[in-house]
């Protein structure tokens, strides 16, 4: 059986073991990247296609009669035309929960860096300001503790629960927002408008859907405390980036840590890439520990092996 990995470079930086995947498919072809015009050619003859972000639209699937299984090297499947796959009898599997420890760790890295003003203190030392201080310590930037603070979580799946677990270890109170787009009362959850004024930190872990696009805009930011923090390691489109930049510049929000932007990579710029106080932007790397990427590879192999046994795993469609 032939397989093709269309965008290996999105996952591998020379630090992963592909032997499990090679054993799952008798002949696997690897391409670092695949341009849209190369998709059909590279799918030719393949029974298994692996893609992280390469688009597999209806036209590409219809032109690939040998294709039986699509393994998405991620959780989100918006790069696959699922309706076309179903119509053509192609099984689609994704990967799940592989990055939870990595993302949770990154979320708290951002949270702690903002609470302790770590970037400001690091820069002060580099500029020689501590070296010139009159006292043994240098405390020009207010430091706050997570203990006793209230964390609000939007998106209470695998990642949201992982964050909640660590937050409680820090001594934080955890509040969970009602699922976006659902208006019925959910036990133990608060409507977003009721949650926002109560929290010291808001962290987002929901998918980008029509219900969550622009979920946090100027109006929602205005409901938060002036010293509150916003952490977004979900998807960029969930937050109105221009409104967030304005809130940070005006002092209407205490700080933000962002690992995702609406367009990635942000080759044409973004409001959050300009100099803004108390903002940390990282390049969609929260998921990317070596351990998480190796777990993802293991799941890809499991999905292929399960399909071959007639017991496909993590089936999306």
- What's the per-residue H, E or C state across the chain? CEEEECCHHHCCCCCCCCHHHHHHCCEEEECCCCCHHHHHHHHCCCCEEEECCCCECHHHHHCCCCCCEEEECCCCCCCECHHHHHHCCCEEECCCCCCHHHHHHHHHHHHHHHHHCHHHHHHHHHCCCCCCCCCCCCCCCCCCCCCCCEEEEECCCHHHHHHHHHHHHCCCEEEEECCCCCCCCCCCEECHHHHHHHCCEEEECCCCCCCCCCCECHHHHHHCCCCCEEEECCCHHHECHHHHHHHHHHCCCCEEEECCCCCCCCCCCCHHHCCCCCEEECCCCCCCCHHHHHHHHHHHHHHHHHHHCCCCCCECC
Instruction: Provide the pLDDT for residue 188.
Output: 87
Both tokens assigned to 202: 């808001």
Exposure of 139 in the CB half-sphere (CA atoms within 13 A): 6
62: number of Cβ within 10 Å: 14
Task: Judge if the upstream peptide bond of residue 265 is cis by omega within 30 degrees of 0.
Answer: yes
| pLDDT for 179 | 87
Residues marked as catalytic: 235, 264, 284
Query: Which of the four pLDDT bands, split at 50, 70 and 90, describes residue 187?
Result: confident
Q: Class assignment of domain 100-281? A: alpha beta
Q: Which two tokens stand for residue 87?
A: 């119509």
Cβ proximity of 306 and 313 under 8 Å: yes
Give Cβ neighbours of residue 307 (< 8 Å, ≥ 6 apart): 68, 69, 91, 93, 313
What confidence tier does 19 reach under pLDDT thresholds 50, 70, 90? very high
Over 80: is that where the pLDDT of 317 sits?
Answer: no
The answer to whether 103 and 287 have CB atoms below 8 angstroms apart is: yes
Helix axes 100-116, 118-126, angle to 10 degrees: 60
Q: What is the pLDDT of the chain when averaged over all its residues? A: 96
Asked if residues 49 and 70 have their Cβ atoms less than 8 Å apart, the reply is yes
What is the average pLDDT across 168-172? 98
Crossing angle for the helix pair 158-169 and 100-116, to the nearest 10 degrees: 50
Interatomic CA distance for residues 215 and 192, integer angstroms: 10
Across the range 88-108, mean pLDDT stands at: 97
Q: What is the pLDDT of residue 40?
A: 97
Domains 2-96+290-308 and 100-281 share a fold: yes
Classify domain 2-96+290-308 by CATH architecture.
3-Layer(aba) Sandwich (3.40)
Is-contact 288 109, C-beta < 8 A?
Answer: no
Per-domain residue ranges of the chain: 2-96+290-308, 100-281
Residue 175: pLDDT band (50, 70, 90) is very high
Sign, CA torsion 267/265/14/48: negative
pTM above 0.85, yes or no: yes
Q: How far apart are CA 293 and CA 98, in angstroms?
A: 7
What is the band of 182 on the pLDDT scale with cuts at 50, 70, 90?
confident
Structure tokens belonging to residue 34: 């695949």
């Amino acid at each position: 059986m032939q397989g093709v990995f269309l965008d290996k470079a999105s996952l591998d930086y020379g630090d992963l073991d592909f032997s499990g995947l090679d054993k799952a498919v008798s002949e696997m072809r690897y391409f670092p990247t695949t341009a849209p015009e190369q998709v059909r050619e590279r799918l030719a003859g393949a029974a298994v296609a692996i893609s992280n972000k390469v688009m597999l639209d209806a036209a590409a699937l219809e032109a690939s009669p040998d294709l039986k299984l699509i393994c998405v090297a991620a959780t989100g499947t918006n790069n696959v035309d699922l309706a076309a796959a179903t119509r053509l009898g192609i099984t689609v599997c994704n990967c799940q929960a592989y990055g939870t420890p990595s993302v949770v760790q990154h979320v708290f890295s951002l949270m702690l860096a903002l609470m302790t003003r770590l970037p400001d203190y690091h820069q002060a030392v580099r500029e020689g300001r501590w070296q010139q201080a009159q006292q043994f310590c240098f405390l020009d930037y207010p430091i706050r503790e997570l203990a006793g603070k209230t964390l609000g979580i939007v998106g209470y799946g695998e990642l949201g629960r992982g964050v909640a677990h660590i937050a409680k270890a820090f001594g934080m109170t955890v509040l969970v927002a009602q699922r976006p787009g659902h208006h019925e009362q959910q036990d133990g959850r608060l409507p977003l408008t009721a949650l926002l004024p109560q929290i010291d930190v808001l962290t987002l872990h929901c998918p980008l859907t029509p219900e969550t696009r622009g979920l946090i805009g100027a109006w929602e930011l205005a409901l938060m405390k002036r010293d509150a923090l916003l952490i977004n390691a979900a998807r960029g489109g969930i937050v109105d980036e221009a409104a967030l930049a304005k809130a940070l510049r005006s002092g209407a929000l205490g700080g933000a840590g962002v690992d995702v932007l609406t367009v990635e990579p942000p080759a044409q710029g973004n409001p959050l890439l300009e100099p803004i106080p108390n903002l940390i932007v990282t390049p969609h790397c929260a998921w990317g520990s070596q351990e998480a990427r190796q777990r993802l590879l293991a799941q890809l192999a499991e999905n292929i092996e399960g399909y071959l046994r007639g017991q496909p795993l993590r089936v999306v469609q």
